[in-house]
Amino acid sequence: MGFARAFGVMVYRQLKRFVKARGRLVMTLAQPIIWIVFFGVGMGSVFSFSNPVAESFIKQVFGGLDYMTYLTTGVVGMTVFLGSFISGITVLWDKQFGFLKETLVAPAPRSAIILGRSFGDTLVVLLQAAIIALVAKAVAPSINLAGLPAALAYGLILGMGLASAGIVISLRMTTPESFQVVMNFVMMPLMFLSGVFYPLDRLPLWAKAIATANPLTYAVDGVRYWLTGASAYGPLKDLVILSAISAVFIALSVWEFRRATLD
Amino acid sequence: MSDIVVVEGLMKRYGDVEAVRGISFRIRKGEVFGLLGPNGAGKTTTIHVIATLLRPTAGRVAVAGHDVAREAAEVRKRIGIVFQDPSLDTALTAYENMYIHGLLYGLGGEELKKRIRELLEFVELREHANRLVRNFSGGMRRRLEVARALLHRPELLILDEPTIGLDPHTRARIWDYIREVQRAEGMTILLTTHYMDEAEELCDRIAIMDRGRIMAEGTAEELKSLIGSDVIIARFDRPACFRDPPIKECRELPDGRVEMVVENAAKALPQLFDAARASGLRIVEVSYRRPTLNEVFLHLTGRELRDSPSSTTRPPAFMARRR
Ligand SMILES: Nc1ncnc2c1ncn2[C@@H]1O[C@H](COP(=O)(O)OP(=O)(O)O)[C@@H](O)[C@H]1O
Ligand SMILES: [Mg+2]
């Protein structure tokens, strides 16, 4: 059985599951939209001034963008970050409900199975990110949607990396409770230390250090560049570092899944 | 090469739990082979090794001449397995579960669709094909898993406790499917069970397993002949054993009863009563049976094995089945 075919089957399975679980689409769209509406509107009003001097100062802080544009473009990246990680974690459910065994005895390359799974889930997440980008455009009209395909390419790389990270964790995780621990103590801090909500350059050193190793930092910066032209590191540096971090997670997931047994 | 499965000196340890302690057996092409033993005997562990899902701690296991550790892909192609615990995608329909399985095993196109229809018909789920598995009963799920395991026409079908937790009606149906598959396709089947009637009903050969070891192996008849003809089980008011003819063998069971092997219990019982009275023993309880696999198991391990719950009363629907 060929690699491409097994890869395709798993993409198909993940898309099928998504179509069946329409509730999931609503759920995963709800959270970023809530951030945009409630956080964005609130913070946007704090940062908006009628005084042109203050206005230009704020724009300087947020890389030349008004706060709403800054935030919403960040939320596009955040959607991919959380969505694909959670999709990777659902391997835990496959473990719980037994479907994992079905894929483990299949005469198909394990690497194709796990990569196809990540890719299928990432496609779903990219669809959500695209919807968020449209919502963002509605509240932040200066967003340039022509850059969306390029922005989604960064999303694809981030999504594959985070889905793979979720898979690695859930293959090693023994209880669903550890999921909450990972969400609260790893994912939440990373979400904030990434430039989604505020720029990183004035943060204390320890926070900067975390942000520097955070793949979301580079994905958000890249997405923001393609949607607005504003960037802290430049799109090429973003692409290179993001790809490197994701590649590590992808390789780890393949390695873990190839040697997975029921021990 | 008529042995499709060869297990030699298989050992499997989980941490410091020795689940399988050096077992050997062979399964011939076309036969139904059963691993019979109580919970914790190591049956599931054994078949997970055969199915390439666990690495053996020691020993050698080959399926159709391919080593399970070194040529896992070759082995996986040739087996279909129904796990003891469900392994379906409950978020998808029965049809989609079948379809994805078919694609993963290299099938496709019209042929796959036709085969799915046939098999769903076979396990009587055709009209439920487009329902989500989440809404299926336990029995429906098990039937779907049987159909799915057959989809790619495996050389070896592995069934781990195929009727555990099922009602007698569904159990009878599953038994029926197993017989049918065996008759129509001549497929080799390896099944595990802790119900002795199930093993006796379905299996050509049985290996009795307990605490990680195989205690005996053979046809049901061969296993029963390990004890002789009839077995008398009695309880006296104090420990005692009789070994004079017609009693061929006598041993005390851990629960205090005494097991006596005789040629013909109907004739031997009056003699036993006389012998007991002569030695001043009172008989508290006594029964005799033609040996069943339970007696064999009791004989080999000192503990009892169960029948499947109320399997003696076959529901009428079973009789009325047309296939
Ligand atoms: N993953 C595991 N980790 C540790 N011990 C296990 C594991 N799986 C099974 N065991 C132990 O190994 C023994 C055999 O189990 P198993 O093969 O499931 O027996 P059976 O299928 O005959 O009931 C049992 O004592 C069980 O508790
Ligand atoms: Mg078992």
A30-89 residue pLDDT tens = 877 887 888 777 877 877 777 888 888 878 888 888 888 999 999 999 999 999 999 999
Q: Helix, strand, coil: what percent of chain A each, to 5?
A: 80, 0, 20
Lowest-confidence region among A160-169, B116-125, B314-323:
B314-323
CA torsion, ordered B157, B161, B167, B171, to nearest 10 deg: 30
Residues near B314 by beta carbon (within 8 Å), at least 6 away in sequence: B168, B172
Q: Does A6 touch chain B (CB under 8 A)?
A: yes
Residue-wise pLDDT tens digits, A247-259: 999 999 999 999 8
Lowest-confidence region among A206-210, B19-23, B257-261, B310-314:
B310-314
Structure-model confidence comparison of residues B316 and A247, the more confident one: A247
Report the pLDDT value the prediction gives residue B307, as an integer from 0 to 100.
67
Q: Whose structure tokens read 């719950």?
A: B309
Asked if A197 contacts A35 with a C-beta cutoff of 8 angstroms, the reply is no
Judged against a pLDDT cut of 80, whether residue A171 lies above it is answered with yes
Pocket test for ligand 1, best of B11, B17, B164 (most atoms within 8 A of CB): B17
Structure-model confidence comparison of residues B263 and A220, the more confident one: A220
Report the pLDDT value the prediction gives residue B224, as an integer from 0 to 100.
85
Work out the percent of chain A whose per-residue pLDDT is above 90. Answer: 66
Closest CA to B171 of B313, B69, B24: B313
Residue-wise pLDDT tens digits, B43-89: 999 999 999 999 999 999 999 999 999 999 999 999 999 999 999 99
Average pLDDT over residues A139-146: 93
**How far apart are the CA of B151 and the centre of ligand 1, in A?**
29
- The mean pLDDT of chain B is 88
Q: Does A206 touch chain B (CB under 8 A)?
A: no
Positive or negative torsion for Cα B45, B51, B57, B58: positive
Q: Give the number of the atom of ligand 1 that is nearest the alpha carbon of residue B212.
A: 14
How would you classify residue B308: left for phi > 0, otherwise alpha for psi between -120 and 50, otherwise beta?
beta
Cα angle for residues B275, B278, B280 (degrees, 5° grid): 110
Average pLDDT over residues B267-283: 80
Interface test with B, best of A7, A97, A174 (most B CBs within 10 A): A97
Residues of B at the A interface, defined by Cβ within 8 angstroms: 14, 48, 51-55, 73, 76-77, 79, 81, 83, 85-92, 96, 100-101, 103-106, 132
Report the pLDDT value the prediction gives residue B310, as an integer from 0 to 100.
54
Residue B319 pLDDT class (50, 70, 90 cuts): very low
For residue B38 and ligand 1, the question of a CB distance below 6 A is answered with no
Asked if A101 contacts B87 with a C-beta cutoff of 8 angstroms, the reply is yes
- Nearest ligand for residue B164 CA: 2
Closest CA to B219 of B230, B227, B235, B208: B208
Candidate ranges A42-51, B197-206, B270-279, B306-315; pick with highest mean pLDDT: B197-206
Average pLDDT over residues B266-281: 80
Judged against a pLDDT cut of 50, whether residue A227 lies above it is answered with yes
Q: Does A103 touch chain B (CB under 8 A)?
A: yes
Residue-wise pLDDT tens digits, B94-151: 999 999 999 999 999 999 999 999 999 999 999 999 999 999 999 999 999 999 999 9
B54·A1 Cβ contact <8 A: no
Judged against a pLDDT cut of 50, whether residue B321 lies above it is answered with no
For residue B41 and ligand 1, the question of a CB distance below 6 A is answered with yes
* Dist CA B38 CA B33 (whole Å): 17
Asked if A92 contacts A173 with a C-beta cutoff of 8 angstroms, the reply is yes
Lowest-confidence region among B87-101, B115-129, B198-212, B243-257:
B243-257
Chain B's closest residue to A105, CA to CA, is B76
Report the pLDDT value the prediction gives residue B34, as an integer from 0 to 100.
97
Average pLDDT over residues A82-109: 90
Report the pLDDT value the prediction gives residue B5, as an integer from 0 to 100.
97
Report the pLDDT value the prediction gives residue A127, as an integer from 0 to 100.
92
Average pLDDT over residues A105-128: 95
**How far apart are the CA of B48 and the centre of ligand 2, in A?**
10
Report the pLDDT value the prediction gives residue B309, as an integer from 0 to 100.
67
Residues near B278 by beta carbon (within 8 Å), at least 6 away in sequence: none
Judged against a pLDDT cut of 80, whether residue B42 lies above it is answered with yes
**How far apart are the CA of B227 and the centre of ligand 2, in A?**
27
CB pairs under 8 A between A and B: 74
Report the pLDDT value the prediction gives residue B229, as an integer from 0 to 100.
73
Report the pLDDT value the prediction gives residue B320, as an integer from 0 to 100.
35
Pocket test for ligand 1, best of B10, B11, B13, B14 (most atoms within 8 A of CB): B14
Report CA-CA distances (Å) from B144 to A89, B129, B204. 27, 10, 25
Nearest to B81 among A99, A105, A261 (CB): A105
Indicate the domain borders of chain A. Answer: 3-258
Distance from CA of A10 to the nearest CA of B (A): 8
Distance from CA of A112 to the nearest CA of B (A): 11
Q: Residue A1: its chain B contacts at CB < 8 A?
A: 104-106
Distance from CA of A122 to the nearest CA of B (A): 19
Average pLDDT over residues A150-166: 97
Asked if B59 contacts B6 with a C-beta cutoff of 8 angstroms, the reply is no
